[in-house]
Structure 1
Amino acid sequence: MRVLITGATGLIGKQIVKICHKKGIHVSYLSTNKTKISTDKNYHGFYWNPIRKEIDIACFNDVDAIIHLAGATVSKRWTSSYKKEILSSRLETTQLLVDSLKTIPHQVKHIIAASAIGIYPDSLSNYYDETNSEGDDTFLSDVVKQWEAAVDVFSELSIIVSKIRIGLVLSNKGGALPELVKPIKLGFGAAFGSGDSWQSWIHITDVARIFIFVIQHHLGGVYNAVAPNPVTNQELTKLSAKVLEKPLFLPNIPKPLMNVILGDMHSLLFLSQRVSSKKIEDSGFHFKYHHLQPALESLLK
């Protein structure tokens, strides 16, 4: 089997590549950086430039499935121009893949695309599953809705479409966790707002395993990539401090302060989304990390 990965050098992409190699799955990948292109048989890179609508069509050779992760990070200050980039980076890359496949013979049978739990409205009481797809009028929800709609077009090419709504990814190689624990390590850790916001987290190993599981079991549709036991922001902060053996004594950080520091992006820190993992578990997937403390210990110890 050969998969084509966009975003292969990102946080999740690197972990997926590692699992593919362990399972004997050959990897082709697309990169906008020609210096990062390898020509190994099981890790073969190809150049693309989605802004200019350029792509090396040879990237689709012998490819059975596409794992589509490409998109500008949301963990950066949301200026009006950067908001446009967050959306366009997802739509333009998706459209280029679709348009390219329309022009050539290929054997692609499945696309597994990254999505996000950002589609679910902020709530302290709701418990969201994959049927909750109407979203709300927030920026992140709108991005996810347009992103998923763009991916659905692959179905017109008789390709199975899977969308993986990813929660808060915990990794010691990047993402939110190193930033979260940095002040804790210095003795200045604190929860955000009331601390009651729900954090639907997932260990980096499990999120990568879900992508491979969906490919190997030919699962179409939407799946939440979150661990079975979400926690509050207060609990996430306390457990991180416990694992690091650091004290917590500062008051919680107020929302208006973070608005001043981060602008619109501050909403990422205060969103409450309690999300269900039942659908992927009912499909036969078993999490390695069900609970937060073992997950943190594996990453922080």
Structure 2
Amino acid sequence: MSRKVLITGGTGMIGTRLAEMLIDAGYEVALLSRTPGNGRYRSFRWDPLAGTIDEAAVPYADYIINLAGSSVSDGKWTQERKREILSSRLAGTQLMARELATGNHHVQAFISASAIGIYGDQDDRIVTEETPPAPDDFLAEVCRQWEAAAQSVAEDGIRTAIFRIGIVLSPEGGALVPLARTVKLMAGAPLGSGRQYMSWIHLDDLCRLFIQAMEEPQWQGTFNAVAPTPVTNKEFTETLAAVLHRPLVLPKVPEFGLKLVMGEMSEIVLASQRVSAEKTLQQGFRFEFPTLREALESFYGEQ
């Protein structure tokens, strides 16, 4: 039985861990890359913006996991940066859809990333997969177009699952690193009002979720990839400080200060998103790290 997985965006934080876990589970892994051949996995060349891809890439795969997209948290959101955030997601997914539409392959499932940014700022309302995308919101519009591109794969009759990913926790990268750094320096403080909800997921749970969705035919459609216990930013900061055995000394970091430093990107930490994991749980997925404390202790518990 052939078990080959092709990952787009495989060199990022999620893709790197996912590839390791797939190998451990007995799969073969290949990456799609603009600069192939510099890692431990087989890789195929593609250039989404130019619309070019190695013609052997898609026929290689039994499964495709689509994570390609430029990081939303690197650098201020200039107009150029915003174009890149959108085009890097859209072009890769559209290119995959185009290749899959040719029918010259044996791909059994297409798993594509999206983000909870699609919901915009929702205050303390619980949002589900049925909640419509936020209007007039940059990240929501990016996610809406990204999902529409992935949806066109489903229209070609390939089982497609789209995951709206929350704040991914890993000591290797993403939002946790700067937050933990400030707490370790005893400069930790809630951000903005501190009341905004953060819907998070442990990196390993996210990778296990992708693998389960790849393997089991009932995963089809859109799912939230978040742990079942979202927390407020204040609770997040307090839990992190407790796990790191550091006091929280500062009052809140004011919203205008964050906007000054981060620009529009401050939306990522200031927008409140209280996202339901119910549909994902009903599919039979079990979180290894359902609570924030367990997740943070898995990274920092020994320190």
What TM-score, normalized by structure 2, do the two folds share?
Answer: 0.95
Letter in 2 for 1:225: A
- Please state whether the residue corresponding to 2:16 is helix, strand or coil: helix
- Please state whether the residue corresponding to 2:56 is helix, strand or coil: helix
Aligned residue pairs, count? 297
Question: How far apart in 1 are the matches of 2:127 and 2:83?
Answer: 27
What does residue range 163-202 of structure 1 map to in structure 2 within 5 Å?
163-202=162-201
Question: How far apart in 2 are the matches of 1:21 and 1:34?
Answer: 19
**Residue aligning to 1:68:** 66
What does residue range 1-12 of structure 1 map to in structure 2 within 5 Å?
1-12=3-14
Give how far 1:35 is off: 4.2
Question: How far apart in 2 are the matches of 1:104 and 1:136?
Answer: 36
Show CA shifts across 1:200-228 (max 9, x none). 11100101111001111121101111001
- Please state whether the residue corresponding to 1:194 is helix, strand or coil: coil
**Residue aligning to 2:266:** 266
**Residue aligning to 2:223:** 223
8 Å CA contact retained: 1:37, 1:47: no
Unaligned runs of 5+ in 1: none
Give how far 1:99 is off: 1.8
**Residue aligning to 1:287:** 287
- Please state whether the residue corresponding to 1:8 is helix, strand or coil: coil
How much identity, in percent, do the aligned residues show? Answer: 43
**Residue aligning to 1:54:** 52
Show CA shifts across 1:207-255 (max 9, x none). 1111001111121101111001111000110111111111112110111
- Please state whether the residue corresponding to 2:296 is helix, strand or coil: helix
Larger CA deviation: 61-70 vs 102-111: 102-111
Give how far 1:57 is off: 1.3
Question: How far apart in 2 are the matches of 1:277 and 1:156?
Answer: 26
- Please state whether the residue corresponding to 2:168 is helix, strand or coil: strand
**Residue aligning to 1:147:** 146
2:206 is the alignment partner of 1:241: no
Give how far 1:95 is off: 1.4
8 Å CA contact retained: 2:37, 2:43: no
Give how far 1:37 is off: 5.2
Match of 1:18 among 16, 20, 36: 20
2:36 is the alignment partner of 1:34: yes
Question: How far apart in 1 are the matches of 2:20 and 2:87?
Answer: 28
Question: How far apart in 1 are the matches of 2:124 and 2:294?
Answer: 26
Question: How far apart in 2 are the matches of 1:227 and 1:100?
Answer: 33
What TM-score, normalized by structure 1, do the two folds share?
Answer: 0.95
Show CA shifts across 1:252-295 (max 9, x none). 01111111111111111101000011111111110000111111
Larger CA deviation: 281-290 vs 116-125: 116-125
Show CA shifts across 1:22-62 (max 9, x none). 11111121011134255xxxx42111111222211111234
Question: How far apart in 2 are the matches of 1:37 and 1:56?
Answer: 17
2:202 is the alignment partner of 1:214: no
Unaligned runs of 5+ in 2: none
8 Å CA contact retained: 2:58, 2:99: no
Question: How far apart in 2 are the matches of 1:268 and 1:204?
Answer: 18
8 Å CA contact retained: 1:169, 1:175: yes
Question: How far apart in 2 are the matches of 1:60 and 1:138?
Answer: 33
8 Å CA contact retained: 1:17, 1:27: yes
8 Å CA contact retained: 2:120, 2:133: no
- Please state whether the residue corresponding to 2:43 is helix, strand or coil: strand
Larger CA deviation: 159-168 vs 121-130: 121-130
Larger CA deviation: 66-75 vs 126-135: 126-135
**Residue aligning to 1:94:** 93
Larger CA deviation: 154-163 vs 72-81: 154-163
**Residue aligning to 1:117:** 116
Question: How far apart in 1 are the matches of 2:10 and 2:146?
Answer: 19
Aligned in 2, Cα 1:37/1:296: closer, same or farther, shift over 3 Å?
Answer: closer
